């Protein structure tokens, strides 16, 4: 079983459509893939349709999910949420609040980039993002188009879009304790995404992770490209102490990141334990 519990489509800042992501998951030999777009479930229906349309004999299970933008003590963090009821109104409202603020913030970031001499426009960013939940990777793509930086990654520096960078503007983000509560209330399972991704900026203190665990956090995403071996070993120990599941996933973004689908995976027993905690939605299988 090859299980990848974190992937983005063009419903947020990935480059594959949800149907293309399903095809890519099959091509990568995955048995299970989770669609976890930033603050949106807009890709779920298309991805589910693509799974249902797979030829006989091709088995793939889609886990509907999302990746929520959170902030605690001024530190941004991402919370993966699996198998929640997408219609549950309180959680749906919070996702909408974050998505809407991404527009205000995206336009403000474009203004800063322009003031810093980058010839990009908000129209261009809207074209790149299409119907997707607008984020810095779309602005990074605009900076690549304008020849300001060579790659999307190169735009995530203090000079441009990194957390606290010259052109960075904050968006509304949810308190993670509240987010954990919202996900659980919608029948979902919350997992802390890349908790040790130091290259993205400051990370959340362990006391906060312990508080989140006490509040209902289900797991830590340990095996992730942004974690070195030492960080993984440490997080594995912490998960053990706190009684949290340990997941692994690619955080695939199509062409916007170099990571491949299935580059990191989750153990089948962990996946089963995660399913056992979920009551808001069911995995979608062929
Ligand atoms: P936003 O949601 O608009 O705040 O943008 C955050 C997204 O930018 C993350 O989910 C990643 O996809 C991407 N990102 C953050 N840091 C980096 C980085 N150093 N290199 C490439 N992409 C990054
Ligand atoms: Zn992303
Ligand atoms: Fe993330
Ligand atoms: Fe992600």
Ligand 1 contact, 256 CB (< 6 A): no
Q: What is the pLDDT of residue 265?
A: 98
69 phi, psi to nearest 5 deg: -85, 120
Q: What is the pLDDT of residue 157?
A: 97
**Do the Cβ atoms of 121 and 110 come closer than 8 Å?**
yes
Q: What is the pLDDT of residue 174?
A: 98
Ligand 1 contact, 153 CB (< 6 A): yes
Q: Distance between CA atoms of 83 and 66, rounded to whole angstroms? A: 9
pLDDT tens for 81-127 read 999 999 999 999 999 999 999 999 999 999 999 999 999 999 999 99
Q: What is the pLDDT of residue 215?
A: 98
Q: What is the pLDDT of residue 255?
A: 92
Q: What is the pLDDT of residue 283?
A: 98
Nearest ligand, CA of residue 249? Answer: 4
Nearest to 212 by CA among 188, 237, 176: 176
Evaluate if residue 286 carries a pLDDT over 80: no
Q: Which two tokens stand for residue 2?
A: 């090859």
Choice from 13, 66, 133, 137 to test ligand 1 binding pocket (greatest atom count within 8 A of CB): 137
Q: How far is the CA of 138 from the centre of ligand 1 (A)?
A: 10
Q: What is the pLDDT of residue 70?
A: 98
Choice from 6, 7, 10, 13 to test ligand 1 binding pocket (greatest atom count within 8 A of CB): 13
E-state strands within the chain: 3-7, 32-38, 61-72, 75-82, 189-192, 219-223, 245-248, 284-285
Q: Which two tokens stand for residue 45?
A: 């229906």
Q: What is the pLDDT of residue 104?
A: 97
- Distances from the Cα of 196 to the Cαs of 227, 230, 236, 246, in angstroms? 6, 10, 11, 13
Q: What is the pLDDT of residue 102?
A: 98
Evaluate if residue 178 carries a pLDDT over 90: yes
Q: What is the mean pLDDT of residues 151-173?
A: 97
Q: Distance between CA atoms of 201 and 82, rounded to whole angstroms? A: 25
Q: How far is the CA of 57 from the centre of ligand 2 (A)?
A: 32
For atom 17 of ligand 1, the residue with the nearest CA is 156
Ligand 1 contact, 126 CB (< 6 A): no
Evaluate if residue 72 carries a pLDDT over 80: yes
Ligand 1 contact, 156 CB (< 6 A): yes
pTM of the model: 0.97
Choice from 66, 70, 110, 156 to test ligand 1 binding pocket (greatest atom count within 8 A of CB): 156
Q: Distance between CA atoms of 95 and 101, rounded to whole angstroms? A: 10
Task: List Cβ<8 Å contacts ≥24 apart for 123-130.
Answer: 129/13, 130/10
Q: Which two tokens stand for residue 178?
A: 């509240």
Q: What is the pLDDT of residue 253?
A: 98
Q: What is the pLDDT of residue 218?
A: 98
Q: Which two tokens stand for residue 113?
A: 């980039």
pLDDT tens for 217-230 read 999 999 999 999 99
Q: What is the pLDDT of residue 29?
A: 97
Ligand 1 contact, 245 CB (< 6 A): no
Ligand 1 contact, 252 CB (< 6 A): no
29: left (phi over 0), alpha (psi -120 to 50) or beta: left
Nearest atom of ligand 1 to the alpha carbon of 67:
10
Evaluate if residue 131 carries a pLDDT over 90: yes
- Distances from the Cα of 86 to the Cαs of 139, 183, 187, 194, in angstroms? 28, 10, 10, 23
Percent of the chain beyond pLDDT 70?
Answer: 100
Q: Distance between CA atoms of 196 and 207, rounded to whole angstroms? A: 14
Ligand 1 contact, 163 CB (< 6 A): no
Q: What is the pLDDT of residue 105?
A: 98
Mean per-residue pLDDT of the chain: 97
Q: Distance between CA atoms of 239 and 267, rounded to whole angstroms? A: 15
- Residues counted in the chain: 286
Angle between helical axes of 136-145 and 89-115 (0-180°, round to 10): 30
Q: What is the pLDDT of residue 245?
A: 98
């Amino acid at each position: 079983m090859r299980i990848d519990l974190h992937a983005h489509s063009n419903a947020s800042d990935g480059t594959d459509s949800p149907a293309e992501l399903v095809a890519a998951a099959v091509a990568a030999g995955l048995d299970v893939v989770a669609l976890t777009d930033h603050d949106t479930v807009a890709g779920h229906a298309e991805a589910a349709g693509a799974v249902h349309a797979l030829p006989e004999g091709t088995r793939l299970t889609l886990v509907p999910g999302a990746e929520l933008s959170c902030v605690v003590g001024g530190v941004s963090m991402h919370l993966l949420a699996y198998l929640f009821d997408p219609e549950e109104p309180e959680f749906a409202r919070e996702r909408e609040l974050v998505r809407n603020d991404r527009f205000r913030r995206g336009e403000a970031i474009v203004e800063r980039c322009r003031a810093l001499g980058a010839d990009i426009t908000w129209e261009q960013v809207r074209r790149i993002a299409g119907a997707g939940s607008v984020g810095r990777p779309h602005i990074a793509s605009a900076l690549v188009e304008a020849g300001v930086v060579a790659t999307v990654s190169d735009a995530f520096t203090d000079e441009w879009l990194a957390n606290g960078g010259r052109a960075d503007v904050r968006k509304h983000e949810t308190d993670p304790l509240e987010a954990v509560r919202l996900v659980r209330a919608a029948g979902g399972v919350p997992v802390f995404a890349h908790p040790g991704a130091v290259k993205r900026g400051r990370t959340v203190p362990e006391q906060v992770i312990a508080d989140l665990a006490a509040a209902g956090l289900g797991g830590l995403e340990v095996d992730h490209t942004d974690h070195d071996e030492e960080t993984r070993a440490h997080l594995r120990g912490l998960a053990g102490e706190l009684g949290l599941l340990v997941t692994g996933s690619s955080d695939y973004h199509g062409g916007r990141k170099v990571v491949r689908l299935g580059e990191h995976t989750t153990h089948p027993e962990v996946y089963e334990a995660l399913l056992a905690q979920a009551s808001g939605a069911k995995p979608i299988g062929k």
